[in-house]
Chain A
Amino acid sequence: MNFERIREKLNILADAAKYDVSCSSSGSKRSNTGKGLGDSSGMGICHSYTEDGRCISLLKILLTNHCIFDCAYCVSRKSNDIKRAGFKIQEVVDLTINFYRRNYIEGLFLSSGIFSSPDYTMERLIAVAKKLRLEENFNGYIHLKSIPGCSDELMREAGLYADRLSINIEIPTVSGLKLLAPEKDHKDFIKPMEKVKNEILQFKADRKVSRKTPVYAPAGQSTQMIVGATGESDKDIMYSAVHYYSTYNMKRVYYSGYVPVLQDERLPALGTEVPMLRENRLYQTDWLLRFYGFDVREILNKEYPNLDVDIDPKLSWALRNMHLFPVDVNTADKRMLARIPGLGMKSMYKILNARKYRKLNWEHLKTIGVALNRARYFMICDSKTWEKRDLEPHRIKSLILQSSQSKYQKMYNDQLRLF
């Protein structure tokens, strides 16, 4: 094996793949039977973290960065003058196995530039996964990218070897896509999603009849949207996220702050700061929708098309709905407990357990781990002291901001200065 050449390719093709933020390795059910290599039945594991603090769980590479498309936001676009390279199928297999055996990774995340045709590209991706599963008896995690415009038959085959399939919608609005990727058709993204969704449902139904039915993409499918490339509002982004969650049963929608890599008049200039804080607020909203029982229209609507940057979306919702507070933690139902700012799901379950035995006071709540600096304005408990002043929402907000030192403070000061 020519290690020097492989190293060179790895550097080029890992560099090109890093803008895909998904690195999840959880949610699969592939256990190691028959003394093979690897097991992905448990939780996901982050084996390291990059210096920007993101999880490294998978070997995330492109099969090649040759591409026939010229999408403005993509570093591998045809017209970009960069070094190009391509892996052989066996090379990817060897790298994956050897990294996995050393416990560097949970598995492979394989994407690719589109060369010759979508189907040809997809076939090569599938060939890697198939080889890993059938020849190497590999049960680690495999995440394959679905190539826009590839055929239904290939999508069906891909799911038999991959744990997760994903296709990045990248631009949340159809008009934005027209502007930045004129050669790509919105429908080409939707078709593979639709196919994967239907196959997952079909395989699940078959599995109920026969336990021998193979698993199909057991960790589901996901997608990604670029944030801050086309001037879209937070409402645009979250409403389309909700659409993908509900229509295509997405496991995850990822939000990726646009990193300016190319000079293009349609895009933010080089050197523009990556909107990391905004990205964080979008993820918080995503969590509120998936785990906390919020409806997207409560958080983002015509009157409030954008999230606050200086406070989290739950707090900002609560400040707009003061008539629902304060909540009594000793009697409130799950739904309302989950809506108290500063109180997460884990604390909520601890409270539900603990209050069976005694009435909880501030001391209990503090040891349980509730962020009282925010929560105290919105709850009462077994204590004679609580916030008795009738505070206006903006007053509460400033009290909270004064009492806390947000790790983002520097960032939102910078970002606010722009206005």
Chain B
Amino acid sequence: MALQKLIYDGSFEGLLNAIFIVYQEQLDDAEILEERFYEPDFFAEAQQVYTDDTKATRVWEGLRKFPQFSASVYRSFLTELPDKEIYILDAVRYVLKTKNDKDYGQPSVLKLAQLTKQVGREKHRMEAFVRFKRTKDDLYVALIEPDFNVLPLIAKHFKSRYADQQFLIFDQKRSYGIFYDLERVEFVTLDFDDQQLKEALHQEEKHYDKMWQDYFVSTGIKNRINKKLHLQHVPKRYWKYLNEKNPL
């Protein structure tokens, strides 16, 4: 049988639906890919996957029997890499068939574990590198551009930490954010304007901004300077939104 291409909408539910079809139609030679990466190709049959929540739930329930593995399927999905589905499908097939969810000798299972680690690192970096600025109406706003789509993963952390503080963390790369209104965290999409934010800032903001930069300098020890190590921990691509590196 010819190679089957399953095209889905880019949502996690869509991916689960595609996996459902692979099993339902017993496709041995299938490739799942996101709409945005699809280019029609003469030798393969393409099939559009329609997202259906009940089917997605069924697949998810099945994967949930392997808690650590299912989490790594989700996290690998958040990498947004064009070929992530190849590893995900292969690992899912292997794990469901053999029940060996921790067999790091199997290439796809190991690959997913590695991707999961990368996403975990990015999540942790965002928990560290988010810098809030206070606005006049007491909203704390932070802008980020993470390598992977980690906003869904960090919401819980910020909610339990800043339970008494309204905040907005906005992903400029993906044009959406999470907003906490003292009750719950919601996903929001909006047009963001840097200039507007600057004008809306609370008057004390510049003082704390300055003090943090001062602190950053005075807490370093000159006799021990090690720029290479510094860069390893704080790669340049994150500097744009770190106020110790990029003042107001």
Report A's interface with B, CB cutoff 8 A: 1, 3, 6-7, 10-11, 14-15, 17-19, 31-32, 35-39, 42, 45-56, 59-60, 95, 98-99, 101-104, 137, 257, 259-260, 273-274, 276, 350, 353-354, 356-358, 360, 364, 367-368, 407
Contacts and interface: CB of A to CB of B under 8 A. Distances in A.
A102 B219 contact: no
A3 to B, nearest CB: 4
A258 B105 CA distance: 46
B208 A357 contact: no
B105 A14 contact: no
B197 interface: no
Contacts of B218: 10-11, 14-15, 18
B105 A358 contact: yes
A56 B216 contact: yes
A56 B60 CA distance: 40
B47 interface: no
Contacts of B208: 98-99, 102
A103 B142 contact: yes
B75 interface: no
A188 B134 CA distance: 45
Interface stretch (B25-33, B76-84, B226-234): B226-234
A18 B164 contact: no
B90 interface: no
A1 B203 CA distance: 12
A47 B225 contact: no
Given A14-B219, A53-B232, 17 more contacts: A3-B210, A7-B214, A10-B211, A11-B214, A17-B219, A37-B162, A48-B234, A48-B244, A54-B224, A101-B132, A101-B134, A101-B162, A102-B132, A104-B212, A350-B104, A353-B102, A357-B105
Contacts of A98: 204, 208
Contacts of A95: 211
A37 B165 contact: yes
Contacts of B127: 45
Contact of A37 (B105, B128, B164, B233): B164
Contact of A51 (B106, B215, B230): B230
Given A3-B207, A19-B221, A50-B221, A10 B215 contact: yes
Contacts of A46: 128, 233
Contacts of A17: 219
Most buried by A among B164, B219, B242: B219
Nearest to A355: B105
B102 A50 contact: no
Given A56-B216, A59-B215, A104 B221 contact: no
Contact of A49 (B107, B161, B234): B234
Nearest to B220: A50
Contacts, number: 152
24 contacts: A1-B204, A3-B207, A7-B207, A7-B210, A7-B211, A11-B218, A14-B214, A32-B163, A37-B163, A45-B127, A48-B128, A48-B234, A49-B234, A50-B230, A51-B225, A52-B229, A52-B230, A98-B204, A102-B208, A102-B212, A103-B131, A260-B223, A354-B102, A357-B100
B130 interface: yes
B35 interface: no
Nearest to A98: B208
A3 B209 CA distance: 11
Contact of B225 (A6, A52, A56, A59): A52
A203 to B, nearest CB: 24
Contacts of B207: 3, 7
B1 to A, nearest CB: 30
Contacts of B204: 1, 3, 98
A295 to B, nearest CB: 31
A295 B85 CA distance: 47
- Smallest CB-CB A-B distances: 9 pairs: A53-B229, A50-B220, A52-B224, A49-B233, A3-B207, A14-B218, A53-B226, A15-B218, A35-B163
Contact of B221 (A18, A99, A353): A18
Interface in B119-177: 124, 127-134, 140, 142, 157, 160-165
A102 B227 contact: no
Contact of B215 (A14, A32, A137): A14
Given A7-B211, A364-B105, A47 B221 contact: no
A104 B165 CA distance: 15
Nearest to A104: B212
Contacts of A42: 157
Contacts of B132: 101-103
Contact of A45 (B110, B124, B133, B134): B124
Given A49-B234, A53-B229, A102-B132, A276 B104 contact: no
Contacts of B100: 357
B186 interface: no
A367 B110 contact: yes
Interface string B39-78: 0000000000000000000000000000000000000000
Nearest to B238: A48
Contacts of A353: 102-104
Contacts of B105: 354, 357-358, 360, 364
Contacts of B162: 37, 101
A97 to B, nearest CB: 11
B128 A60 contact: no
A223 B25 CA distance: 63
Contacts of A51: 220, 225-227, 230
B115 to A, nearest CB: 14
Most buried by A among B129, B131, B162, B232: B162
B72 to A, nearest CB: 14
Nearest to B215: A14
A95 B164 CA distance: 18
A101 B202 CA distance: 14
